[in-house]
């Protein structure tokens, strides 16, 4: 099965990829993937060493229940439930490649779906058994869970997790053409118009490359962790200036607790934006590890956010550069931190050299400034695309995993929208038009998201679950209207005794802890 897998399992064949493996699963078997290739494997692996360790522990309850597991949800005391089995992963938290935050957000809860969608098969066999502490006696799988998990099994059986590399070869040629055009117009031409055309091409290059960086960051291209991480240093840090370490740290949390007011950094943009009136007042951000309050600046800026949104998005890229460097210069663990610094410094060097060598005319240095403005404004399209997927969707407090209730699939659908577009426009949306499917199966290659979308729509129709996919323009109008509605409520906020602006909602929200 690839590295660390079941050597007796056979990979999916071309025939299987076309219509699925016709042979039924044997008792106890499931489909999993490693390096993008699907295999039939045993659902559970026993570890004799783990069982011996369990026998020696005196701190474990006689029976592990969902309620008991829920008590162990802190960084220094962390249990997770996967497929009805409980694992004490406390000693692994600080070594987790995806950071400690996603693990803590899943602490004490059923992490079956999140775990399956972020880890290859080898982790089930080689790592999980080391942390096994017992079965959860009252764990149950709902019919709804069985239904949506069956979709993933079907995608695996059909070989949909395997990347078609020719797709990325064509994309690479497209990226190279954009960058070459940008450099030619910038350095080989003397007219102002040509230089601005170069700026547009450079901005388009950054926006398009973000799609590849997104795929790479989810280990969805080669599916080999080290290879994708190495490519990520080139694609992210060096060519686009976006720190892969920062992006992964933020984005992994976003996926696990999408649109959580307290936990999702992708909707925590105070004092600039507020995606819901329920964010007003004061709350503690688990990601930023600080209290966020609606101060006077926040009240003022949010009151005009529907006017400020697009202008701010035009320059939002500069904030991403800053966020990447703030993380790299902090004490927080970042995989390949030194190489990320080298890559990010290299980006600053080549961009500075490109701008410095622009043969300016009567505009003087202002032409160089305008070049930076135009290129970053065009690249700002990416930030609009990202916000469009979630800003006007549902939000909630805390984490979306409560006891034995199924929340993973419903949460992703409630907090995420797709964009309805023809297949020939998929290149423009860089995979972000199928955010629902991407959130459900982050390791699924981008070129198979449209197929997966059909399966999800069919399931949602059967189950009576909302699947939202408006047109691009309609989604923009909805976003602005939603932000305007929140802006109007921000104007009505009053300063409370605690020193920050709050609404009558705040008292109830604060009571929730």
DSSP for 414-482, please give it: HH----B--GGGHHHHTTGGGHHHHHH-TTS-GGGHHHHHHHHHHHHHHHT------BHHHHHHHHHHH
Reading the block at residue 150, the tokens are 């069956």
Helix (H) or strand (E) holding 60: none
> What dihedral angle (degrees, nearest 10) is formed by the CA atoms of 222, 224, 227, 229?
100
Q: What is the pLDDT of residue 440?
A: 96
List the one residue out of 415, 402, 400, 398 whose CA is nearest residue 283: 398
Sign of the dihedral defined by the CA atoms of residues 447, 451, 457, 463, in that order = negative
Q: Is the distance from CB of 9 to CB of 41 less than 8 angstroms?
A: yes
Rounded Cα gap, residues 463 and 473, in angstroms: 28
Reading the block at residue 355, the tokens are 């701008």
pLDDT tens-digit readout, 5-29: 333 333 333 334 334 555 788 888 9
Structure letter (DSSP) for residue 92: G
Query: In the predicted model, is pLDDT for residue 406 greater than 60?
Result: no
Helix (H) or strand (E) holding 315: helix 305-328
Query: In the predicted model, is pLDDT for residue 100 greater than 50?
Result: yes
Rounded Cα gap, residues 53 and 343, in angstroms: 43
Q: What is the pLDDT of residue 512?
A: 40
- DSSP percent split of the chain into helix, strand, coil, nearest 5: 55, 10, 35
Would you list the DSSP string of 168-185?
Answer: HHHHHHHHHHHHHHHHII
| High-pLDDT (> 90) share of the chain, % | 75
Q: What is the pLDDT of residue 367?
A: 92
Q: What is the pLDDT of residue 500?
A: 76
CB count in 10 Å sphere of residue 466? 10
What residues contact residue 299 under an 8 Å CB cut-off, 6+ apart?
Answer: 490, 491, 493, 501
CB count in 10 Å sphere of residue 69? 26
Query: In the predicted model, is pLDDT for residue 178 greater than 70?
Result: yes
Query: In the predicted model, is pLDDT for residue 44 greater than 50?
Result: yes
Rounded Cα gap, residues 400 and 406, in angstroms: 9
Cα→Cα distances 342→124, 334, 405, Å: 34, 13, 45
Rounded Cα gap, residues 426 and 413, in angstroms: 21
Architecture of domain 14-157: Roll (3.10)
Residues linked to residue 502 through DSSP beta bridges, in sequence order = 494
Question: Is 270 exposed, middle or buried, given 0-12, 13-18 or 19+ CB atoms closer than 10 A?
Answer: buried
Distance of CA 471 to the CA centre of its chain: 22
| High-pLDDT (> 70) share of the chain, % | 92
Reading the block at residue 365, the tokens are 């240095």
Helix (H) or strand (E) holding 35: none
**Domain residue ranges in the chain:** 14-157, 163-268+314-463
Confidence band (pLDDT; 50, 70, 90) for 504? low
Confidence band (pLDDT; 50, 70, 90) for 400? confident
Q: What is the pLDDT of residue 401?
A: 60
Q: What is the pLDDT of residue 301?
A: 96
Helix (H) or strand (E) holding 85: strand 85-88
Reading the block at residue 249, the tokens are 């740290």
Query: In the predicted model, is pLDDT for residue 353 greater than 90?
Result: yes
Rounded to two decimals, the pTM is 0.89
Q: Is the distance from CB of 397 to CB of 262 less than 8 angstroms?
A: yes
Rounded Cα gap, residues 489 and 501, in angstroms: 12
**What's the chain's Rg over C-alpha atoms?**
24
Reading the block at residue 204, the tokens are 């388009």
List the one residue out of 406, 363, 309 whose CA is nearest residue 81: 406
Q: Is the distance from CB of 284 to CB of 290 less than 8 angstroms?
A: yes
Average pLDDT of the segment spanning 272-293: 93
Q: What is the pLDDT of residue 160?
A: 96
Rounded Cα gap, residues 80 and 61, in angstroms: 15
Confidence band (pLDDT; 50, 70, 90) for 82? very high
User: Is the pLDDT higher at 392 or at 512?
Assistant: 392
Q: What is the pLDDT of residue 402?
A: 56
Cα→Cα distances 298→66, 189, 282, Å: 40, 45, 12
Confidence band (pLDDT; 50, 70, 90) for 95? confident
pLDDT tens-digit readout, 435-481: 999 999 999 999 999 999 999 999 999 999 999 999 999 999 999 99
User: Is the pLDDT higher at 509 or at 85?
Assistant: 85
Q: Is the distance from CB of 34 to CB of 121 less than 8 angstroms?
A: yes
List the one residue out of 61, 43, 28, 42 whose CA is nearest residue 133: 61
Confidence band (pLDDT; 50, 70, 90) for 50? confident
Query: In the predicted model, is pLDDT for residue 505 greater than 60?
Result: no
Sign of the dihedral defined by the CA atoms of residues 390, 394, 397, 400, in that order = negative
Average pLDDT of the segment spanning 195-219: 96
Average pLDDT for the chain: 89
């Amino acid at each position: 099965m690839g590295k660390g897998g079941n050597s007796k399992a056979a990979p999916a064949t071309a025939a299987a990829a076309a219509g699925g493996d016709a042979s039924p699963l044997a008792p106890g078997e499931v489909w999993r993937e490693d390096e993008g290739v699907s295999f039939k494997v045993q659902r559970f692996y026993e570890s004799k060493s783990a069982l011996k360790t369990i026998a020696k522990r005196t701190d474990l309850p006689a029976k592990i229940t969902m309620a008991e597991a829920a008590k162990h949800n802190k960084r220094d005391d962390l249990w997770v439930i996967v497929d009805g089995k409980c694992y004490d992963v406390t000693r692994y938290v600080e070594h987790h490649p995806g950071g400690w935050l996603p693990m803590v957000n899943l602490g004490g809860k059923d992490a079956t779906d999140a775990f399956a969608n972020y880890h290859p098969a080898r982790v089930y066999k080689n790592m999980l058994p080391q942390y096994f502490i017992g079965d959860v006696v009252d764990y149950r799988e709902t019919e709804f869970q069985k239904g949506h998990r069956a979709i993933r099994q079907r995608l695996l059986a059909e070989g949909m997790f395997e990347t078609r590399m020719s797709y990325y070869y064509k994309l690479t040629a497209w990226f190279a053409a954009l960058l070459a055009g940008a450099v030619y117009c910038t350095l080989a031409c003397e007219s102002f118009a040509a230089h601005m055309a170069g700026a547009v091409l450079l901005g388009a290059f950054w926006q398009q490359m973000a799609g590849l960086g997104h795929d790479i960051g989810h280990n969805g291209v080669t599916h080999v962790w080290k290879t994708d991480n190495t490519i990520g240093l080139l694609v992210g840090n060096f060519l686009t200036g976006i720190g892969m370490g920062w992006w992964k740290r933020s984005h992994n949390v976003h996926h696990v607790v999408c649109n959580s007011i307290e936990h999702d950094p992708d909707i925590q943009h105070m004092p600039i934006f507020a995606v819901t009136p329920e964010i007003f007042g004061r709350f503690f951000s688990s990601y930023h590890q600080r209290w966020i309050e609606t101060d006077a600046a926040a009240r003022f800026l949010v009151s005009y956010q529907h006017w400020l949104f697009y202008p701010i998005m035009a320059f939002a890229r500069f904030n991403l550069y800053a966020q990447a460097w703030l993380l790299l210069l902090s004490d927080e663990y970042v995989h390949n931190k030194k190489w990320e610094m080298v890559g990010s410094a290299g980006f600053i060097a080549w961009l500075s050299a490109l701008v410095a060598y622009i043969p300016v005319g009567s505009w003087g240095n202002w032409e160089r400034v305008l070049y930076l403005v135009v290129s970053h404004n065009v690249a700002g399209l990416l930030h609009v695309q990202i916000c469009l997927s979630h800003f006007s969707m549902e939000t909630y407090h805390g984490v979306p995993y409560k006891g034995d209730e199924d929340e993973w699939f419903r949460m992703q659908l409630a907090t995420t929208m797709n964009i309805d577009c023809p297949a020939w426009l998929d290149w423009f949306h860089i995979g972000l038009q199928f955010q629902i499917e991407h959130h459900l199966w982050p390791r699924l290659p981008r070129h198979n998201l449209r197929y997966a979308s059909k399966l999800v729509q069919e399931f949602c129709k059967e189950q009576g679950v909302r699947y939202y996919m408006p047109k691009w323009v309609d989604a923009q109008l909805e976003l602005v209207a939603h932000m305007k509605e929140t802006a109007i409520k921000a104007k009505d906020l009053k300063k409370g005794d605690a020193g920050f602006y709050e609404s009558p909602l705040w008292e109830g929200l604060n009571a929730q802890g």
